[in-house]
Structure 1
């Protein structure tokens, strides 16, 4: 029997990474799959030289192993039946986590590492990994202490893009909502194109109706094959997509957005919407690769 792919969490001992461990432990227990903790660092040095000498290991490795062991104990305290493993990798975390994403069901990180001054913006490691991960990636946002809290809003929000048919993000949102026993809020933002005018008094309402109707049709296409056993709500909102989704995140347990992955393209594959919500969402964000 093939072993289920684990949820992989990037850890470094920081409070954001501990929140990520909590969230990932709950998610792994919900899915009934293993949790794998990864510490990756090529350059950081820590205290602990005397312990390292006794163990005949580099001091960096000793401290890294301690970080992983502490995170594993935390995960087991939260979910005692969970299958938890850990690993220390002597390489840049960006590369290590992207590679790990190729054999993971989900990749989870916190907002910033230990060197972060504040959590208002996303750390560079999480941002780079989000732009290259090959599996859904979660950045745990929403709390500013060292605890991850269970969802209380009863909804998973998914942003519906320009090409909704067969959207991996929409499928992920419905699968996740089913596991949690909550509803899906499918959100589509719409705006008037800049070149259109509403100066004529008889035409002032027509452009808005046309563009809103297009948004409604896009939502209908996205939810055409939605499973009948998950409650869904369609929402069309006038405005720019990023602030619309950030606003929706305030009443959500999870915000799901897609990110295109183009074969042969080596730059950061993260659109403006995904980039924006990663920085400003009020709840955990899932970036789901949309392969061309």
Structure 2
């Protein structure tokens, strides 16, 4: 049985972005799509006896909400198999539980919460930190969310699940029939500590070589598996978060890795992960180390581009 693409639905504009993105991903991957709405409505309206035919208004609202989302998917991707699920459960707990049997979890950048100034909603951030499978936050401008640029960007880190992230990024590029940019940022203390820094020198060359070796070490593990993917390798002097923001200005997807927490459930989201989840100009996939397998990865036999 194929692992589904799971998307959280709460009626917000951000969740509609997530539904649209997830529908397109399921369509090109040939995977089923599962729409989930979870809220603790029974805390406020009480659990009714089984003998009554009445249902709490929040449950009716939730069922209408996922029903509308299902119809939206049928219009956007009529070949995708869709299932819906309404749960009287904490949204984070419900989505994390669904992610244990999912190929991918998709959430919007913001929900229906009252803190509208937050760039990423608390549910999305908590899911990204706790899920066992890759999580995509469907953020960014519409051209990026619609996949109009034809480029996937892989942010290569030191040891933050980069091999799993590389597999995911190559598969995403192959499914889209687009190019993959693997980028690694580096910094030279010798240049930054000088009052009038000048490019060049042995210390800077050594920093650049280490960045190139790190990038090659991650990419070379998986590149032979995806000969059809057009790959560009790039090392950039600068901070990681600024480099990724610049390189994803015209990208369809940013893929970053994350380490698993030792002795705890979930991922260890570092500063770069947080910065991208809050500020990236395109959808962001956070891939936990060891989460990607051939059976669970989204894929498509024929590229869409």
Coarse TM-score class (shorter-chain normalised): 0.7 to 0.9
Secondary structure of the corresponding residue to residue 95 of structure 2: helix
1:272 partnered with 2:271? yes
Q: Report the equivalent of 1:150.
A: 146
Note closer, same or farther for the CA distance 1:203–1:31 as it changes in structure 2 (3 Å cut): closer
Unaligned runs of 5+ in 2: 46-51, 292-305
C-alpha displacement of 1:55: 4.8
C-alpha displacement of 1:196: 7.8
160-169 or 15-24, which moves further after superposition? 160-169
C-alpha displacement of 1:166: 6.8
Q: Report the equivalent of 2:5.
A: 7
> Using CA pairs below 8 Å that are at least 6 residues apart, which structure has the higher relative contact order?
2
Q: Report the equivalent of 2:216.
A: 220
Taking only aligned residues, the RMSD between alpha carbons, in angstroms, comes to 2.8
Indicate conservation of the 8 Å contact 1:101/1:135, yes or no.
Answer: yes
Indicate conservation of the 8 Å contact 1:19/1:148, yes or no.
Answer: no
CA distance in 2, matches of 1:265, 1:201: 43
Indicate conservation of the 8 Å contact 1:41/1:91, yes or no.
Answer: yes
- 34, 37, 41: which one pairs with 1:36? 34
Indicate conservation of the 8 Å contact 1:7/1:106, yes or no.
Answer: yes
- 74, 79, 86: which one pairs with 2:84? 86
Note closer, same or farther for the CA distance 1:119–1:37 as it changes in structure 2 (3 Å cut): farther
CA distance in 1, matches of 2:53, 2:96: 31
C-alpha displacement of 1:271: 1.4
1:255 partnered with 2:251? no
Aligned residue pairs: how many? Answer: 282
Indicate conservation of the 8 Å contact 2:149/2:251, yes or no.
Answer: yes
Q: Report the equivalent of 1:129.
A: 127
C-alpha displacement of 1:46: 10
Secondary structure of the corresponding residue to residue 259 of structure 1: strand
Indicate conservation of the 8 Å contact 1:98/1:134, yes or no.
Answer: yes
Q: What aligned pairs does 1:88-237 form with structure 2 within 5 A after superposition?
A: 88-116=86-114, 118=116, 121-143=119-141, 149-163=145-159, 167-193=163-189, 197-198=193-194, 205-225=201-221, 226=223, 227-237=226-236
Note closer, same or farther for the CA distance 1:116–1:178 as it changes in structure 2 (3 Å cut): farther
C-alpha displacement of 1:102: 0.2
CA distance in 2, matches of 1:285, 1:40: 23
162-171 or 217-226, which moves further after superposition? 162-171
TM-score by length of 1: 0.88
TM-score by length of 2: 0.84
Secondary structure of the corresponding residue to residue 131 of structure 1: helix
CA distance in 2, matches of 1:202, 1:277: 30
C-alpha displacement of 1:81: 1.4
Indicate conservation of the 8 Å contact 1:22/1:148, yes or no.
Answer: no
Unaligned runs of 5+ in 1: 48-53
Secondary structure of the corresponding residue to residue 153 of structure 1: coil
C-alpha displacement of 1:269: 2.3
C-alpha displacement of 1:262: 2.7
C-alpha displacement of 1:228: 2.0
Q: Report the equivalent of 2:303.
A: none
259-268 or 149-158, which moves further after superposition? 259-268
